[in-house]
Homo-oligomer: A and B are copies of this chain.
């Protein structure tokens, strides 16, 4: 691992490609992990929510079960980085919206990408996990409407994800994109809501985005761009 690489956020695919339903996996986890040891994503066919910690890949599937995933599995969309984050602050009890604005206030700049990691005790964690789709794939909105939602009143674990400046909306999820994995690996997913109880916030700032596109995927190559990409994303991601 190159020291400089801790300043690079790697992304395979774009959020925009998921919107019309380009869910086919186009990069193996093995290849993805050559660019980082920490991150989030989804599997081929939009099969669940990925949490990558310490080089290990966990999937929360549509039944809420947490699985370890082999490196030969493929992703249509994922972000990874080499974790070298900095402890920012202890965060006490804050409700979802106030927690998000507290993290936003701690960002040294809103014009750069950040990895956001929080550990500790959380409350009222509401996650979702998308279910594996079969071809012909539906749209992201249709898939999200059929997602499974999971809730936990009190849980220890790790919140992991990214902040992307609004400018990159469509390339990435604008603002925060957070996944959760409980300490006992029994619960997690794409975070819809979360309150902090007693947590620590860590941030890692990136000076570079390496965006890898699935140039060999025929469906991606010929997909007509969506007109209302940001609207479609907002309705599918929140």
Interface positions of A (Cβ within 8 A of B)? 7, 14, 16-17, 108-113, 165-168, 170-171, 205-213, 215-216, 220-223, 225, 229
Contacts and interface: CB of A to CB of B under 8 A. Distances in A.
Contact of A208 (B7, B111, B170, B213): B213
Contacts of A215: 7, 109, 112, 205-207
A109 B221 contact: yes
Contact of A171 (B167, B213, B225): B167
Given A108-B221, A113-B213, 13 more contacts: A109-B215, A111-B221, A111-B223, A167-B229, A206-B213, A207-B212, A207-B215, A207-B216, A208-B213, A209-B209, A209-B210, A209-B213, A210-B211
- Copies of this chain: 2
Contacts of A166: 225
Nearest to A110: B225
11 contacts: A14-B167, A16-B167, A17-B111, A108-B221, A110-B225, A111-B225, A167-B229, A205-B215, A208-B213, A210-B211, A211-B211
Nearest to A109: B221
Nearest to A215: B207
Interface centre among A167, A209, A212 (most CB of B within 10 A): A167
A17 B111 CA distance: 9
A231 B25 CA distance: 35
B111 A220 contact: yes
